[in-house]
Amino acid sequence: MTTTSPALGPLVGVYGLVGHDERLLVVRDPDATAYRLPGGLVRAGEAVEDALRRNLRTGLDACAAHLDFCAVVELREQYAGTQPTVFELALLFDVTLTDPSAVRVDHGEARWATDIELGHLDLRPSALADRLRSGGPTREQPWWPALP
């Protein structure tokens, strides 16, 4: 995650809840120990859905057949002192891939995890992982504020 000044406002990230056969797709970058959801930051001037499609295409060599908005998660990571040093609004989408069996990564790892495995994986950011483990997004609760 990249740091930003509070004066500049939060970063905007877009991530996919990519499911297939009762499993959720998680990825791990080659230099990381933790897993994350597929996706990444939205570039300046880029539409949110275009950003997610780009990240899926470049990161997984996968095409999205359908994107359905699920939730926004406010992420605040604190590295030093008392003020959060990273602010991100993470937009989550339920993603249907055109061919889930064709997912591949050139660098790192892609893994289809069961609910039980998600409970034991080091999934980041931790605030998002905690929310997913406690029931995940619902239409009744699309906004997940930062946890204290």
Total structural domains within the chain: 1
What pLDDT, in 10s, does the model give residues 24-79?
999 999 999 999 999 999 999 999 999 999 999 999 999 999 999 998 888 876 55
Indicate whether 6 belongs to any domain.
Answer: no
Indicate whether 97 belongs to any domain.
Answer: yes
Please tell me the predicted confidence (pLDDT) of residue 81: 57
Indicate whether 47 belongs to any domain.
Answer: yes
Q: Please report, for residues 1, 14, 115, 132, the alpha-carbon distance to residue 123 in angstroms, rounded to integers and kept in the order given.
A: 13, 16, 12, 10
Domain extent, residue 63, equals 23-136
Indicate whether 38 belongs to any domain.
Answer: yes
Please tell me the predicted confidence (pLDDT) of residue 56: 96
Say if residues 48 and 42 touch (Cβ distance below 8 Å). yes
Indicate whether 16 belongs to any domain.
Answer: no
pTM of the model: 0.83
